[in-house]
Structure 1
Amino acid sequence: MSDVKNIYKSPKDKDGVWTWVNKYPEDAEDAAENEVTAQYAVLVRNIKSPDSRKKLKAHSIVVQSPWLKTALGKILEDYPGVVCELERLIFEAPFQPFVHRWKGFVKYRERENLDDTTKEHLTILHNILQYEMGHSIKVFEDYVEKGVVTYENLWMVFQPGAPVLAAHKGPLSAFELEDTTYTENRCGKFVRLRCDCIDYDGKAFGRCQENIDISEFVGTKRITELSAYPLTFHPRPDEIRDSLIKRGQLFEDLAGHHYKAYSGMAITWDIQGNELPIEVSGRIVVDIGSFNRFSPINFMRHRRLRDWKSRDRLLLLASKARHVRSGGELDGILRLSPYHKMLARCRTGGYSLKLKKWLDFFVEQVGDIQFSNDAFNKLVLPDDQKELIMAFSESQLEGCAFDDVISGKGKGVICLLSVTDKLHHRFSRRRQDPERRSRRREPPRAPAHALLGRPGRGPARGGARGGRGGGAKATELSDADLDELSGLDLNGRQIKNILKTAQLLASRKKTPLKRSFIDTILAIEKRRPEVHHD
């Protein structure tokens, strides 16, 4: 049926049971909130008070005045959970937003440029709040003055949206408070602070949630002795703020991929995902993107970034952040604002090359590698082999188009770490010059193709006779050299490998291809141990 049928709750019988009935309840009263009450600036919903000093207390306050809503929109700006644009703006006891912003409320009400209606309606609301929560305001002011608080009134000193300090998962760090909740579990009662910090997921920066708990305590306790407390209560707030911003700059600088040194305590995890400290020293790779993909802990506790808030975008744009999309996603390199640097994590993910483990590293313990320029000189190898290693390494750094007969094979040359120490200054240079990286340097042209392509007494001998064709300017090989080389028992592939490797030596010396370079490669080949196959 295209109609509505109403049924009603019956009174309880002697056994306390009720049901749904068709009869309209005779004792039902008219609704208290109607067209008449809608004309008032403020409604106060009252209930019986357990306090012996008054019969009634406010259960909630309904703000209906558009003048009040405009004023409260500025007084309670950015206060989480409060939207002053609603048609019916309702605040429930104990009226936390007004306790936290009481000073701002009083100061706004004393403005001289307020119109008469706004001032009159603010006075009405002020008097209601003063009567309903005057004791709470006095207690709050007393806590602030003496720097102490009780467990029951912890919520008073923690203002949502304000930064709090806590030695949470590391040294003292800053977090932005979202809300406080009184709760309990098998271990007892506690207040949970739901907070945000700034994290990086390998592609972008964003907010990440952390829960910080304050266990129940008896009596009063100094606010700065709590496991977390508002930044404003720190004895030197400006000093700690500057220190955290400086550390946040380190966190920002470590975004991406970095080859670094580390000395100190890091964090690993057991099979249940519990954090364990571990001592680390040596070289590490800072790479949060790879950490998120391959770290075992990430499969159990994946840290997902939350979207930026509207206030975040304003701060980021003000600090000349780049590529902030309207949806909150970040494209390219982002420069955090000082406020967001203050909220940055104290740890970053990476890999310990010594321990072969994915770990969380404290950013203040990450340092630059002290490269040893003598490491390669101390390497115990024949000089000709060391020279060849350097030629291979430099060719890779310079983007040389050296390749083996099989495409791509020669590009995978792996060299000793001592070479890395010797050439580290050139590798920094490469990262800072992306255009230079895109230019590939061709090795000197030499008779490799001619040696392989001319007919004669076999691929090596026949090729050697025509060896200088087309590449005379890049080689100093004589006809006698080519005749001698053509007599070697080598196939075409071996000739090409030897010649192209000799070309690398020539390139390193910045000279044409000489017979001595080929002799060096042949000597190294003779010292190569034979591989026996069973």
Structure 2
Amino acid sequence: MAVNSDAPDVASATNTVKQPVTKDADTPKSESESEDTKYANPGTLCGVHNVYQTKPDENDETSWSKELPETIVDPAEDAESAQYALIVRNVKCYDGRKSLSIHSIVIQSEFLKTFLGKVLEGYPGVTATLERLEFTAPFKPLVHRWEDFLKAREAEDLDETTKEHVDLLYKILEEELRDVLARKKDLVRNGVITHPLIWTIFEPDDVVIANISGRLHASLFVNDRINCRTQSIILDGKFVEFDGDDFGYCDTEYEVPLFLGTVPITCLPAFPLRYHPEKEAIRQSLVARGKLWEQHKGFHYKQYEGTAIGFLDDNKKKKYHVKSRIIIDAEGFNVFHPHETVDVWGTVPNELTEEHQLVASPAVYGYSLKDKEWLMFYLDCSSDIKWNTDAFDSLVLPKEQENLKDLILAFAKAQSKSLDSFDDVIQGKGRGIIMQLSGPPGVGKTMTAESVAEVMQVPLYTMSAGDLGSNADDVERKLKNILRMIPKWGAVLLLDEADVFMEARTTTDLQRNELVSIFLRMLEYYEGILFLTTNRAEEIDPAFESRIHVSLTYKELDTNSRRHVWNQFLSRSVKTETFSDDQLDSLAAVQLNGRQIKNMIKTAGLLAWSQNRDLNYEHVKTVLGLRKATSPLSA
């Protein structure tokens, strides 16, 4: 690799002053010293006292001495050596083919610097205009640009002096690099490479591709290095990433384990795109993926099915199979994920060029609503959401409360579009919409929140008391994060079975009192849409009454409501006419809630599948009979 240095090689002169050294009482005095020797106060003499490192002893330890080493030699580079176009440093060679090899070459000719500046233009790490230009074995820049060197050497516009200096350098390099260049050419012609010569086919800023978990990853090559313990070659690269605010580069690396003989270049764990037999098609595919990836910066709500990656607190990764709606949000990942952040460096434009899109990340960062985990998602596993626009219309409520459906939806839409500009006396307080849904299980409380989110086409974040825990500090921390995330996404928040946080405070249960107080305080500053479901509305703390905008009480389903629910769920599995009116009436007569009806149909469907038949009334009757036989009330 080329090494540039503008530091002078000649040491500056020093004014050496010999100063007496104070010794301990037991230290013998030299003949030149006497008890009358006088010393200046410490640090007062304007001078330098030089000491010299000694040779290593039998333990490979060194010390310092006032005596000049006997083996010291004069500097090799001086006014005499500065006259020459090149300084070639040679070392002993032990490969059996020659006695000396070149360690490094110092370019001193201004003609050569100008020539090499054109040949190596854009090569990272090389600045040909520096006063001192040095190349060190194995001379990677010159090996990588050898064809350019040869073409430039044959150019007709070279003046006589430059031509002479270039020919001198060519003769030295050709003799030194002949074997490497010939072996590289032969290997590449056969589409293979050896482990010791991998460095010859990786040039800085090469587009490198790797197949990781069945996906093509692309990056720009930066450098290679050796793992001294395993002798593996580590290929360092960089790719374009988004941190939630800006595009930039992230570092990556690929490991090439030690191997004997040759392997096909395209079988390496990572290899330059230019060696791929379909490089143009691959390039176009990567650029197209990069364009799509660029469009997913910011916040996006998607359906996802496939592998996702989680990050643990011990720097390990965990694979998840996710089949859920997700929220793509790199900024949120950086704020709320406890173990990993997306950090970028370097300058990348906000509008990516094709070269940046080519090496863009194949993944995005966000949140799985079902798994309640911050994860890394692969873009090719995401898709647009298919919304259930009929969800709200299919919601079954008692007739006397049907008009409340429109009120709930109106409240939610107004809050979502920030039409309600009302604020509390204290800025930021009272800006949320809180709706309480109470009643027995399975009558539609949860479905109400789900339907509102579906009609509004926004995320629904569902949590229960179990997700928050019972420790006051943990509850406060988790609630604080959740209540910050949800309004940012424009999501609907559903706190299911919120009784433990809403139940009236007492003089005996101080721990629960603290949970209720924390919850009340958090609600004051919540700015989104919140549904609270409870089974015991009559036991709610009075302080919640002033914070709840809409309260809806659900009753047990009557016969007509149950018939409607049976009809709805069955229509998703079979044709409506499969069940007669009498059969639907018979099913509706059984005392079941909505959740139980759904489970009955699901179980009956499994029974029909096991018999390789379509779902019919007899399957449902069989499941209902089993339920009655196993019910504790049937004994």
Q: Structure 1 residue 337: deviation in Å? A: 1.0
The residue number in structure 1 matching 2:430 is: 409
* Counterpart residue type for residue 381 of structure 2: Q
Distance 1:390 1:155 in 2: 64
* Counterpart residue type for residue 420 of structure 2: A
The residue number in structure 2 matching 1:442 is: none
1:152 counterpart = 2:168: no
The residue number in structure 2 matching 1:305 is: 344
Equivalent residues in 2 for 1:189-208, closer than 5 Å: 189-208=231-250
1:270–1:276 Cα contact (<8 Å) kept: yes
From the superposition, tell whether residues 286 and 56 of structure 1 become closer, same or farther in structure 2 (CA, over 3 Å): same
From the superposition, tell whether residues 398 and 15 of structure 1 become closer, same or farther in structure 2 (CA, over 3 Å): closer
The residue number in structure 2 matching 1:229 is: 271
Encode CA deviations 1:299-328: one digit per residue, 9 max, x unaligned.
xxx4421223xxx6xxx4xxxxxxxxxxxx
Encode CA deviations 1:120-147: one digit per residue, 9 max, x unaligned.
2222111110011111111111122111
Distance 1:405 1:132 in 2: 81
The residue number in structure 1 matching 2:327 is: 285
Encode CA deviations 1:263-297: one digit per residue, 9 max, x unaligned.
11111244533222211112111111111121233
Which of 83, 86, 110 matches 1:66? 110
Distance 2:393 2:60 in 1: 94
The residue number in structure 2 matching 1:399 is: 418
Distance 2:149 2:81 in 1: 25
1:350 counterpart = 2:376: no
Distance 2:167 2:423 in 1: 86
The residue number in structure 2 matching 1:262 is: 304
SS in 2 for 1:420: helix
The residue number in structure 2 matching 1:97 is: 141
From the superposition, tell whether residues 289 and 16 of structure 1 become closer, same or farther in structure 2 (CA, over 3 Å): closer
1:385 counterpart = 2:404: yes
Which of 284, 288, 302 matches 1:242? 284
Distance 2:364 2:57 in 1: 65
SS in 1 for 2:386: coil
Distance 2:46 2:221 in 1: 50
Equivalent residues in 2 for 1:160-175, closer than 5 Å: 160-168=204-212, 171-175=215-219
The residue number in structure 2 matching 1:512 is: none
The residue number in structure 2 matching 1:46 is: 90
From the superposition, tell whether residues 80 and 395 of structure 1 become closer, same or farther in structure 2 (CA, over 3 Å): same
1:294 counterpart = 2:294: no
Q: Structure 1 residue 10: deviation in Å? A: 6.3
**Count of aligned pairs between the two proteins:** 409
Q: Structure 1 residue 105: deviation in Å? A: 1.3
Q: Structure 1 residue 86: deviation in Å? A: 2.1
* Counterpart residue type for residue 90 of structure 1: E
Distance 1:13 1:207 in 2: 49
1:349–1:361 Cα contact (<8 Å) kept: yes
SS in 1 for 2:344: coil
1:78–1:161 Cα contact (<8 Å) kept: no
Q: Structure 1 residue 411: deviation in Å? A: 3.6
The residue number in structure 2 matching 1:322 is: none
Distance 2:203 2:58 in 1: 49
Equivalent residues in 2 for 1:467-478, closer than 5 Å: none
The residue number in structure 2 matching 1:506 is: none
Encode CA deviations 1:343-400: one digit per residue, 9 max, x unaligned.
1111111111111111110012122111121111112224312221222133234432
1:40–1:65 Cα contact (<8 Å) kept: yes
SS in 2 for 1:174: strand
Q: Structure 1 residue 180: deviation in Å? A: 0.4
Distance 1:402 1:198 in 2: 41
The residue number in structure 1 matching 2:27 is: none
The residue number in structure 2 matching 1:335 is: 351
2:52–2:64 Cα contact (<8 Å) kept: yes
* Counterpart residue type for residue 85 of structure 1: T
The residue number in structure 2 matching 1:117 is: 161
Distance 1:44 1:130 in 2: 14
From the superposition, tell whether residues 262 and 65 of structure 1 become closer, same or farther in structure 2 (CA, over 3 Å): same
* Counterpart residue type for residue 111 of structure 1: A
The residue number in structure 2 matching 1:132 is: 176
Equivalent residues in 2 for 1:361-372, closer than 5 Å: 361-372=377-388
Distance 1:53 1:395 in 2: 84
SS in 2 for 1:296: coil
1:206–1:305 Cα contact (<8 Å) kept: yes
* Counterpart residue type for residue 419 of structure 1: V
* Counterpart residue type for residue 116 of structure 1: E
2:434–2:547 Cα contact (<8 Å) kept: no
Distance 2:421 2:100 in 1: 89
From the superposition, tell whether residues 525 and 131 of structure 1 become closer, same or farther in structure 2 (CA, over 3 Å): closer
Which residues of structure 1 form unaligned runs of 5+?
317-333, 426-436, 438-495, 502-520, 530-534
How high is the TM-score relative to the length of structure 2?
0.59
Task: Decide which moves more: 115-124 or 288-297.
Answer: 115-124
From the superposition, tell whether residues 170 and 305 of structure 1 become closer, same or farther in structure 2 (CA, over 3 Å): farther
Distance 2:418 2:62 in 1: 85
Which of 375, 382, 392 matches 2:391? 375
* Counterpart residue type for residue 92 of structure 2: K
Q: Give the RMSD, CA atoms, in angstroms.
A: 3.2
2:412–2:433 Cα contact (<8 Å) kept: no
The residue number in structure 1 matching 2:532 is: none
SS in 2 for 1:211: strand
From the superposition, tell whether residues 362 and 525 of structure 1 become closer, same or farther in structure 2 (CA, over 3 Å): closer
1:403–1:411 Cα contact (<8 Å) kept: no
Percent of residue pairs bearing the same amino acid type: 38
Q: Structure 1 residue 236: deviation in Å? A: 0.9
Encode CA deviations 1:87-133: one digit per residue, 9 max, x unaligned.
11111111111111111211222222233332222221111100111
* Counterpart residue type for residue 343 of structure 2: R
Q: Structure 1 residue 166: deviation in Å? A: 1.1
1:141 counterpart = 2:185: yes
Distance 1:16 1:386 in 2: 86
Which residues of structure 2 form unaligned runs of 5+?
1-44, 436-447, 459-489, 491-545, 557-635
Q: Structure 1 residue 47: deviation in Å? A: 1.9
Which of 56, 76, 97 matches 2:120? 76
SS in 2 for 1:224: helix
Task: Decide which moves more: 406-415 or 119-128.
Answer: 406-415
The residue number in structure 1 matching 2:295 is: 253
Q: Structure 1 residue 258: deviation in Å? A: 1.1
Q: Structure 1 residue 42: deviation in Å? A: 1.1
Distance 1:63 1:366 in 2: 55
2:309–2:317 Cα contact (<8 Å) kept: yes
From the superposition, tell whether residues 526 and 354 of structure 1 become closer, same or farther in structure 2 (CA, over 3 Å): closer
2:208–2:221 Cα contact (<8 Å) kept: yes
Distance 1:391 1:47 in 2: 84
The residue number in structure 2 matching 1:419 is: 452
Q: Structure 1 residue 525: deviation in Å? A: 7.2
Distance 1:271 1:8 in 2: 49
Distance 1:525 1:25 in 2: 95
Q: Structure 1 residue 233: deviation in Å? A: 0.8
* Counterpart residue type for residue 166 of structure 2: L
